Structure 1
Amino acid sequence: MSDTTPSVAVLGTGIMGAAMARNLSRAGFDVRAWNRTRAKAEPLAADGITVTAEPADAVRGADLVLTALFDATAVLETMRAAVPGLAASAVWVQAGTVGPEGVPPLEEFAREHGLRLLDAPVLGTRGPAENGALTVLVAGDPQAVREAGPVLDTIGAKTLVLGGRPGAASRFKLVANHWVLTVINGTAETLALAEGLGIDPRDFLGAVAGGPLDMAYLRNKAGQVLAGDYTPAFPLAGARKDAELISRAAEGAGVRLDAMPAVAARLRRAEEQGHGADDAVASWFASFAGSDYGSGDARGCA
């Protein structure tokens, strides 16, 4: 990297990418950002970030490129568009959740263009991202990991190095997201069942409060349903994509998962009801398909 203030290009400024870009700018990095829908990136200009019209403009001269995009297809399309501006030997921090199936094409692209790829998905949602408190999972060349250290330390509170070959971090991320999606779906279904059986969901939460069945994430997600507030921390469309990645990875590894394919189907149903941009716990609506609950409104438990 350069001896002056490192230049970072952030490609993808959704919930996670925008938060990362802001934290990097506040930490003194020279940040340029691009998003497919430019209007969503424009507010970053107020944080001293240069918003560009094309990916190639964002990466031109950048010491480090950070991608925070929806899936492997979006990552490859964006990086191909960035080729005219890419610097040879730049470090590429790939922070999106692409699963182990998505890593080999990215490795091939990196080799073709002289980039040093770091497989670096993160654990955490909107709040940790905004607070620079993500857990960064990283696998790749040790020297590239060291060079990227200041960036990783800015976007996250903890970095877990998982080896020198890309892929390990993406596998780890699916294990973690399996747990996350299990809790989210379990919360949504439990509250839906309570609603259907005429039980006040608040009574259920009171019954488990302070005991071994209680957890902060349960209360966080249940609180959204009870308030009818589905402001996304983990968008449902992304959760559906991750559930599908998990299911395919498990099948490829010879591991039978019964619940996760059902979770993926449930999330697809809620997405079809119009909740793809809502928080993943809006899968609550999928329990009431064919009724007023499934009409795409924002209500929660009564």
Structure 2
Amino acid sequence: MKAFLGTGLLGSNFVKAMLKRGETVQVWNRTASKAQALEATGAKPFDLVADAVKGATIIHLTLKDDATVNEVLESASSGFSPGAILIDHTTTSAEGAIERTNYWKEKGFTYLHAPVFMGPPNALESTGNMLVSGDQELIAQVTPELEKMTGKLINLGPETGKAAGIKLIGNLFLISLTAGLSDVLALAKGLGIDSADVASLFSNWNPGAGVPARFDKIRAGDFSKPSWELNMARKDAGLMIEAAKVNGVNLTVLPAVAAQMDKYINEGHGSDDWSIIAKDNL
């Protein structure tokens, strides 16, 4: 028997998938109605978190942040069964994941951080990606449990907290991508170009396909053989910024990128590949 703490959009769909597999799941949520709503699908809701974990050998969590995870686990701990395994899918800091791993080990319980690149539909369909790192014997033990929940379980090795760090890096990319798309929509609006035309562009030309190669080029650190000179990229950025200004729309990301371009141009790198703007972070 298992327990699931945190039954928001992601957690509730994890629970529904578990129930479809015939598993017995006890659930708790700070907003009790969200846990109670799962009773109709076969879950056993509890008002008190310590009651929800009683008898559970595995306890899953999808909560808000480090502070919430710490608070909920402390409140639940009086109900922990001996040897219970705590599997936390919350996006947290790496430091928090390390501290909790050590803290609960000292108290005789096993904590594993397993953040996900999964939305609610993925949780229901057991698709997407789940990350783990840390004690490899423990990970081998719980792999059959975790593989049932996700399309791909990615083991990042023995370093505790690494999964948390990689999850933050992945989310940073998603946030940056969305902010960039916001700028794209703003410029399209200013130029009177329908967003459907932009969508058509991306359906024919997929810039995302070039991300691995571009990332490898940046990591190599050789910017002396440009495919797009920094001076030319900055010229184009200037055209975009000016077009947005003339048409009364605001760009969020591009002005900061242009400032970084100017820095490297002033340092004499105008003829280098434009990706040199990432050099300081290598």
Please indicate, yes or no, whether the TM-score normalized by the shorter chain is above 0.5.
yes
Give the SS at the match of 1:62. coil
Alignment of 1:1-302 (within 5 A): 7-213=1-207
Deviations 1:79-126 (A, max 9, x none): 011011012321111111002132233124312421111121011212
Paired amino acid for 1:85:
G
Asked if the contact 1:116–1:141 (Cα under 8 Å) also holds between the matched residues in 2, the reply is: no
Deviation string for 1:169-217 (max 9, x for gaps)?
A: 11111222122222222222321332234321112222332213368xx
> Partners in 2 of 1:66 and 1:166 — Cα distance?
18
AA at the equivalent of 1:25: L
Partners of 1:46 and 1:86 in 2: CA distance: 26
Q: Which amino acid aligns with 2:206?
A: P
Verify the 8 A CA contact 2:13 2:121 in the aligned structure 1: no
CA distance in 2 between partners of 1:287 and 1:150 (Å):
49
Of 101-110 and 113-122, deviating more is 101-110
- Using structure 1 for the length normalisation, give the TM-score: 0.65
Mapped contact 1:17–1:68 kept (Cα < 8 A): yes
How many residue pairs match? The answer is: 213
Q: Is the 8 A contact 2:101 2:112 kept in 1?
A: no
1:139-165: CA deviations, max 9, x gaps? 232332233223212210111112234
Check conservation: 2:13, 2:123, Cα contact below 8 A: yes
Aligned counterparts of 1:208 and 1:214: Cα–Cα separation in 2: 9
Unaligned regions of 5+ residues in structure 1, if any? 1-6, 216-285, 289-302
Equivalent-residue separation in structure 2 for 1:88 and 1:165 (angstroms): 26
Give the fraction of aligned pairs with identical amino acids, expressed as a percent.
31
In structure 1, how many angstroms separate the alpha carbons of the residues matched to 2:124 and 2:182?
Answer: 25
Distance 1:214 1:134 in 2: 18
Aligned 8 A contact 1:117 1:166 in 2: no
Separation in structure 2 between the aligned mates of residue 154 and residue 178 of structure 1, nearest angstrom? 27
Q: Secondary structure at the match of 1:140?
A: coil
Structure of higher CA gyration radius: 2
Tell me, in whole angstroms, the C-alpha distance in 2 between the residues paired with 1:164 and 1:29.
30
> What whole-Å deviation, never above 9, does each CA across 1:19-41 have from its counterpart, x for those lacking one?
11111121122111110001112
User: What is the Cα-based RMSD across aligned positions, in Å?
Assistant: 2.2
